[in-house]
A and B are shown apart, each in its own frame.
Chain A
């Protein structure tokens, strides 16, 4: 498939015309590309063909006359003569549809798919018009849940197997399968093993009938009443292309749109998280949105007007001078991020600005590593991953990686606990927290490390044969090697991962990197300077001073404090501590790995100003709360994990008095007696393109021309691809979206733009980090992110909130044996910082000497983020002792 570098063109005759097909392309796809649409149900362009529905039969000339063949299952050959419009084909289509409808209820008026149903549409276009079937139809109990989010009306199913193939082939979790035979066939999960996939919503979207429906959309709307905005999902930093549909200013559903990033797939958090914005259609409670500015008066937050809140904020900021810390902004738009950077660095004059909450990687690493794109996974020789569970953190990137693995690309994984990637890995190296860099050294040929790792009281954590296999799989010099690097463990210092990534970049000079930072627009926030030491455009303070001197009132002269440094300075009362904290859509009390530090730091701030779309633990303690627009209410752009800028379109109006991120910055600048000099989102975008070297040449026209796929910055670094119009049967429900014509355009690099990332920036990353030796009595802690956690999106979505697990600690069975307790027993974990009581689960896949916890899950007596209470941000790794209570 991927190996045919030179496309071979095949010529065949389609309905009397000469048509070209690519080698390996199926007839149905070649015909569609040439403008002849052949009806279909089971065929989906992003899945392997099966030829089960027989709707796509065409007439093919052969030595013994013409025969009917499924066009989704035959590849054209040179000289083939095909008819799609003959009497014979028409009769076949009539027959297939009559058979399908024999067992299909005609309940379209009450069916959610009615109005956008491929079966309805194709029956009208290709069907016989009348049925001879007068017998009793099938009846089933309806609906039956096949997952927590998906319901099945069995009598509507036409057995196309799209959903079961999606589960097995795309998601890699065949938790649903056909059971039974004949007209009693039904899609079913195993009774004791529910369909728990993070991707279950896709089965609803690709169902060509109304058999599968999503709980959040069932009976919520009729498709012809829906308005659509084509936008980009901001649930995580993959940036999937979406069609956001709404009715009467309420979001009703989100659909995936085919594009080169996401291939049309979405994770369930991206698909159903919209409930956190305007609420579920049938829920009694409203999502916990902040709808008015609030000010703390007599110890209580009370609603106030914008002008009162802004004056209070301006007064606090004026008193503080430049002793201001800014934390967050990774959920903002690019324009909002730039506005806040201009306010913080260009007017207030502080460089203590950080979009990351100690859960990411240094900006100098992100900018310094040679960048890979998601499309590079399609042609990579090998992929190396050192990151958290991709199906939990960047779910659709996991699907793309799975595609690569399926094509035979070897995946080498270094992990602290087996996860979704382990199941597709060519070789997986299990390492204890703190040992990642040592294993990377071994991978790069430094065997001195082996002895050190073998000396661990519990022995080597991985199979030496796997290391040899991994070494063999990695291409020499890193040619065609894509490295996905992220924070696997929030209980260890991120510098460890950064040092390992730097080492890989040194050992494999031709390798390219995807830095798997998770927050929606964290990449855009870093690019635009929401990080200490940088100004917009990935330029250092020193380099940027002259660039911004003319337009900005000032620029900081010294590198400021990171999130942890700000909070630590506040907590200890150190010199240089900020007195006012501005939190941009961030919730450190829940989201900072070191929970105690967040609490101590925030308590010491003179004034805390929180710009937030939702009520959180942090807004409850704030002095001033400013309501901001969130996903699907915003105009602007966002940047994904690979540096791809794509468009955000508003689908609904913001509730109450919420303002957009950049508007608040502009108004606050006004209140401070200054002026950002920009008054529209387009003006912000234009100034970014004019000043930030990374964004040079980026324009609204360019983005509009690239349709939904966006543009990878710097402009010109990656070609812009076209796409075919969306197949209405593959993406039912998505109203027509503009498509760029097929063909690849290589935009030229605009003058003045940097050629590529600045490798010199890597000098700021340490060569190695000293890790304390293992304590024979302690377990080393690995804390990992989960898709469903205590964050605002999940907790405010009635459909997703029940999917959040309670916190548990997973340990190797031997650790429980030593303690003499059974799996499930509540134990006490004691770290240097605190202790936590939670159930211990025996799991033989946990590395001996390690304890695995989920981030931002609650325990019985610790609401919110239980794991954060154990983590000390100043420690390189976290050791805990497990005790009986």
Chain B
């Protein structure tokens, strides 16, 4: 009995087939599984192990090395705030502390409603808009406590679904694999996200 949905299972098998060595598909498959469940469940790790012909211990070992792979449940939105030097100078620590108070959970924790998980991140390479904030690994360009509050309210009210998928890493894998998502679909998505962001930037001016 597969833990993956039939469609995801087919996608996973196609992904494994892309590589000369099955174990090379380990990380892409972790992302696919995380896209389905939000995090890597034990059943998913066992199934990934079978697909890649490695042990479940090796899957877990790899998954726990990477910050973007979760082996414990996370909220619908994973909010990451950078506190590396550029962001620290721009108030990253303060923003993180504010987020903790606003969400009522410590760094690494998840809100009781299961909506938000708060993470402190290393450099996200978007230092020109410091302190840098990501939601589900999408840059949201929110630098002040007030803007962060507004964003969280908007997300809690179900906003920005077009821009921030429920689990951001899934899309990346499909891009990386290349063969899974037609190029025109990628272009369409990209254009839509760009337009949504431009509209918002226009509004905030």
B8 CB to nearest A CB, Å? 21
- When distances are taken between beta carbons in the complex, the residues of chain B under 8 Å from A266 are none
Name the distance in Å between A202's Cβ and chain B's nearest Cβ: 17
Give every chain A residue within 8 A of B58 (Cβ-Cβ). 168, 174, 177
- Tell me if A192 is interfacial: C-beta within 8 Å of chain B: yes
Which of B42, B45, B65 makes the CB contact (< 8 A) with A181? B65
| Contact indicator B55/A193 (Cβ below 8 Å) | yes
Residues of A within 8 A of B56 (CB): 190, 192-193
| A 158-184 to B, binary, CB cutoff 8 A, 1 in contact else 0 | 000000000010000111111111000
A824 to chain B, nearest CB (A): 16
Q: Which listed residue, B45, B55, B65, touches A180 by the CB 8 Å rule?
A: B65
Distance between Cα atoms of A426 and B113 in the complex (Å): 54
A179–B64 touching, CB < 8 Å: yes
* Chain B: CB-nearest residue to A178: B61
Given known A-B contacts A174-B57, A177-B57, A179-B60, A192 and B65 have beta carbons under 8 A apart: no
Could you tell me the distance in whole angstroms from the C-beta of A323 to the nearest C-beta in chain B? 58
Contacting residues, chain B, for A180 (C-beta < 8 A): 64-65
Contact A174 B54 (CB under 8 A): yes
Q: Within 8 Å CB of A109, what residues of B?
A: none
Give the complex CA separation of A624 and B46 in angstroms.
Answer: 55
CB distance from B43 to the nearest CB of A (A): 9
A177 and chain B: residue at smallest CB distance? B61
What class of interface size applies to chain A in its complex with B?
A: 10 to 19
**Distance between Cα atoms of A73 and B58 in the complex (Å):** 24
A338 to B45, CA, bound (A): 57
B64 close to A192 (CB less than 8 A): no
Quick check: is A480 within 8 A (CB to CB) of the other chain?
no
A189 to B57, CA, bound (A): 5
Complex CA distance for A757 and B204, rounded to whole angstroms: 94
A440 to B111, CA, bound (A): 66
Is the CB of A191 closer than 8 A to any CB of chain B?
A: yes
Residues of B within 8 A of A168 (CB): 58
By a CB distance below 8 angstroms, the chain A residues around B46 are 190, 192-193
User: A179 contacts which chain B residues (CB < 8 A)?
Assistant: 57, 60-61, 64-65
Contact B57 A188 (CB under 8 A): yes
Residue of B42, B54, B60, B65 with most chain A CB atoms under a 10 A cut-off: B60
Q: Are A175 and B55 in contact (CB under 8 A)?
A: yes
The 0/1 profile, CB within 8 Å of A marked 1, for residues 58-98 of chain B is: 11110011000000000000000000000000000000000
B64–A190 touching, CB < 8 Å: no
Residues of chain B lying within 8 A (CB to CB) of residue A193: 46, 55-57
| Complex alpha-carbon distance, A176 and B58, angstroms | 7
Report whether B42 and A174 are in contact in the complex, using a CB–CB cutoff of 8 Å: no
Distance A173 CA – B49 CA, assembled complex (angstroms): 13
Instruction: Find out whether the CB atom of A175 lies under 8 angstroms from the CB atom of B57.
Output: yes
Looking across the interface, which residue of chain B has its beta carbon closest to that of A182?
Answer: B65
Q: Which residues of B contact A175 (CB under 8 A)?
A: 55, 57
Tell me which of A177, A178, A181, A191 contacts B55 (CB under 8 A). Answer: A177
CA distance A190 to B64 in the complex (A): 12
Rounded to whole angstroms, the CA-CA distance of A180 and B57 in the bound complex is 12
Chain B residues numbered 103-143 whose CB sits less than 8 Å from any CB in chain A = none
For B54, what are the chain A residues with a Cβ–Cβ distance below 8 Å? 174
Chain A residues contacting B61 (CB-CB under 8 Å) are 177-179, 188
Q: What is the distance, in angstroms, from A637's C-beta to the closest C-beta of chain B?
A: 41
In the complex formed, the residue of A with least CB distance to B56 is A190
CA–CA, A168 and B55, complex, Å: 10
Select one of A173, A181, A188 contacting B60, CB under 8 A: A188
State how many angstroms separate the Cβ of A212 from the closest Cβ of chain B.
15
Instruction: List A contacts of B64 (CB < 8 A).
Output: 179-181
Q: Indicate with 1 or 0, residue by residue over B179-194, a CB within 8 angstroms of chain A CB atoms.
A: 0000000000000000
When C-beta atoms are compared, the residue in chain B nearest to A194 turns out to be: B57
| Interface residue ranges of B36-59 to A (CB < 8 Å) | 42, 45-46, 54-59
Which chain A residues border B57 with CB–CB below 8 Å?
174-177, 179, 188-190, 193
Whole-angstrom CA separation of A189 from B64 in the bound complex: 13
Smallest beta-carbon distance B5→chain A, Å: 21
- Chain A residue numbers with a CB within 8 Å of B55 are 173-175, 177, 190, 193
Interface residues of B in 1-56 (CB under 8 A from A): 42, 45-46, 54-56
Query: Looking across the interface, which residue of chain B has its beta carbon closest to that of A189?
Result: B57
By CB atoms of chain A within 10 A, which of B45, B56, B57, B61 has the most? Answer: B57
* Interchain CA distance A536-B29 in the complex, whole Å: 63
Q: Give per-residue flags for A296-329: 1 if the beta carbon is below 8 A from chain B beta carbons, else 0.
A: 0000000000000000000000000000000000
CB distance from A264 to the nearest CB of B (A): 24
Most buried by A among B45, B54, B61: B61
Which residues of chain A have C-beta atoms less than 8 A from B60's C-beta? 177, 179, 188, 190
In the assembled complex, the Cα of A174 lies from the Cα of B61 at a distance in Å of: 11
| Bound-complex Cα distance A217 to B3 (A) | 41
State in angstroms the CA–CA spacing of A191 and B71 once bound together.
12
Q: For the complex, give the distance between the alpha carbons of A189 and B42 in Å.
A: 12
CB distance from A154 to the nearest CB of B (A): 14
Chain A residues near B59: list those with CB within 8 A. 190
> When chains A and B are docked, how far (Å) is the Cα of A192 from the Cα of B59?
13
User: Once bound together, how far apart are the Cα atoms of A192 and B61, in whole Å?
Assistant: 14
Chain A nearest Cβ from B68, distance in angstroms? 12
Residue with the greatest number of chain B CB neighbours at <10 A, chosen from A174, A175, A181:
A174
- The smallest beta-carbon distance between B54 and chain A, in angstroms, is 7
Q: How far is the CA of A235 from the CA of B54 in the complex (A)?
A: 32
Nearest CB to that of A193 among chain B residues?
B56
Q: CB-CB < 8 A to B65: which residues of A? A: 178-181
State the CA gap A173–B54 with chains docked (Å): 10
Which one of B59, B64, B65 has the highest number of Cβ atoms from chain A below 10 Å of its Cβ?
A: B64
Contact with B along A16-45 (1 / 0, CB 8 A): 000000000000000000000000000000
| A193 to B48 alpha-carbon distance, docked (Å) | 14
What's the minimum C-beta distance from B110 to chain A, rounded to whole angstroms?
20
Q: Which residue of A lies closest to B49 (CB)?
A: A190
B54 to chain A: closest residue by CB: A174
How far is B31's CA from A509's CA once the two chains are assembled, in angstroms? 56
Give the complex CA separation of A80 and B9 in angstroms.
53
CB closest chain-B residue, reference A146: B57
When chains A and B are docked, how far (Å) is the Cα of A174 from the Cα of B59? 11
Q: Which of A179, A180, A188 has the most CB of B within 10 A?
A: A179
**Alpha-carbon distance A825/B3, docked complex (angstroms):** 25
Interface centre among A181, A190, A191 (most CB of B within 10 A): A190
Chain B residues with CB under 8 Å of A189's CB are 57
What is the distance, in angstroms, from A189's C-beta to the closest C-beta of chain B? 5
Within the assembled complex, what's the spacing in Å between the Cα atoms of A190 and B65? 15
A188 to B63, CA, bound (A): 13
A116 to B59, CA, bound (A): 34
Residues of A within 8 A of B42 (CB): 190-192
Alpha-carbon distance A174/B42, docked complex (angstroms): 17
Distance in angstroms between the alpha carbons of A177 and B26 in the assembled complex: 15
Q: Give the docked Cα–Cα distance between A192 and B42 (Å).
A: 8
Chain A 551-586 residues near chain B, CB threshold 8 A: none
User: Quick one: closest A residue to B63, CB to CB?
Assistant: A179
Alpha-carbon separation in the docked complex, A864 to B59 (Å): 40
Q: How far does the alpha carbon of A175 sit from the alpha carbon of B64 in the complex, in Å? A: 16
Q: Which residues of B sit under 8 angstroms from A188, Cβ to Cβ?
A: 57, 60-61
Cα separation A176 to B65 with both chains bound (whole Å):
15
Which residues of chain B have a CB within 8 Å of any CB of chain A?
42, 45-46, 54-61, 64-65
- Additional A-B contact list (17), CB under 8 Å, known A174-B54, A178-B65, A192-B46: A174-B55, A176-B57, A177-B55, A177-B58, A179-B64, A181-B64, A188-B57, A188-B61, A189-B57, A190-B42, A190-B45, A190-B46, A190-B55, A190-B56, A192-B42, A193-B46, A193-B55
A interface residues (Cβ-Cβ under 8 A, vs B):
168, 173-181, 188-193
A-B complex: 3 closest residue pairs judged by Cβ atoms: A177-B61, A190-B56, A179-B64
25 pairs from A and B in contact (CB 8 Å cutoff): A168-B58, A173-B55, A174-B57, A174-B58, A175-B55, A175-B57, A176-B57, A177-B55, A177-B57, A178-B61, A179-B60, A179-B64, A180-B64, A181-B64, A188-B57, A188-B60, A188-B61, A190-B42, A190-B57, A190-B59, A191-B42, A192-B56, A193-B46, A193-B56, A193-B57
